Amino acid sequence: MLSAELQNKVHRTEEQVKAKMAPAQRDNRIKDQRTKLEGLRLRGEEECSHSSYDLVLNMLEKDCLIYLGPEKFATRRQELMQKKPGREISIDQSSLVVKDKQQKLLCSTTTELETVNAFRRRALAFDLVKCCGFHAMNTYHSELFEHIHQAPPPGYSAVSLAQILRADRAAWVMMAEKISSLKRDPQGALPLETEIQKALAHPTVSFHLLPLPAKSSVPEKPKKDRSRTLPKSSPANKGAPSTKGKGKGRKGSNKKGRGPNIPKGLIGKALQTAPGERLCWAFNLDRGCTEASPGGKCSRGLHLCTEPGCQKPHSMQHHK
């Protein structure tokens, strides 16, 4: 048996290195955990999947700390509802082997509640494999989430869930650089349990937990496209008729001496009476108007003189 075990360690592939906890050992440790952690139900959202224990155990077997995100710690209920994996063919030591496909079991961490439950399952899995105590890791998670509930300064937004996840990843990367082994030291302390208590005080981690400036709620006004407008002195505008004074009524071209449509002979003349009634332009010009008699009213206006201060029933041509 010893020689067979030695041969397997020498010739086993990377996939065979992955360790799995024995069912009897796993059940005994779960019972001990229920006795030790009396305040937890360890049911439903608090029950870890068996694959999450294997993830932590595999890391412990390699004795190398890696980042295991909260999305990798699914519930036991989700693991039981998983479909049966398919089969695949692989090459193992120059031979074809038919085995089950490896399925990645992930849980959702889109909301704060889902992330808190996933963090709790991660702490339970590390505690069961004896890499880090539950209370030390749970305290780290509680202090991490405490930043969400802190009121931000004026002009800044509160810390978001995305910042919490980024800070968690930065903390594990920082601890992986400091920890060389996950096993107990000669004094009986766990290196991960010691480092995780001061991880949030490191500048590379606390940097991600700073409030960000709030975005302005006032929408920006669209800038005018000045490339289509031409200046008044532009050659393209020379000779173009002006649109000023073309309105109808009292605010239009009835103003005295204003507007481009006023005939040359009526410039500077009175174009309406004192009450505001329009005078007939054709009646006061050489061509005349036959629609009404002098002093009458046609469709163009009153047949009165347009000389300022006159407005008698005769044409401007007969003004004396």
pLDDT digits (tens, 9 = 90+) for 283-303: 888 878 888 888 888 888 888
CB atoms within 10 A of CB 221: 6
pLDDT at 309: 79
Output the pLDDT for position 13: 52
- Does residue 235 surpass a pLDDT of 50? no
DSSP state of 313: S
Average pLDDT over residues 307-314: 82
Answer whether residue 67 shows pLDDT above 70: yes
Quote the tokens at residue 127: 């505690």
Mean pLDDT of 20-37: 93
**Residue 10 pLDDT > 60:** yes
Same domain, 160 and 284: no
Last residue of a domain, one of 194, 209, 224: 209
Higher per-residue confidence, 93 vs 169: 169
Q: How many domains does the chain have?
A: 2
Give the relative orientation of helices 134-145 and 112-129 as an angle to the nearest 10 degrees: 160
* Residue pointed to by tokens 């000389």: 307
List, in order, residues 6 or more apart from 33 with CB less than 8 Å away: 42, 124, 127, 128, 134
The SS3 assignment for 114 reads helix
pLDDT tens digits for 243-267?
A: 454 444 444 444 444 455 778 777 7
Asked whether residue 126 is domain-assigned, the answer is yes
Question: Domain range for residue 278?
Answer: 264-320
> Is residue 222 over pLDDT 80?
no
Indicate whether 205 and 272 sit together in one domain: no
- Measured CA to CA in angstroms, residue 145 lies from 67, 168, 207 at distances of 18, 10, 15
Is residue 301 domain-resident?
yes
What's the whole-model pTM score? Answer: 0.62
Tens digit of each residue's pLDDT (9 = 90 or more) over 182-215:
999 989 899 999 999 999 999 999 999 999 998 8
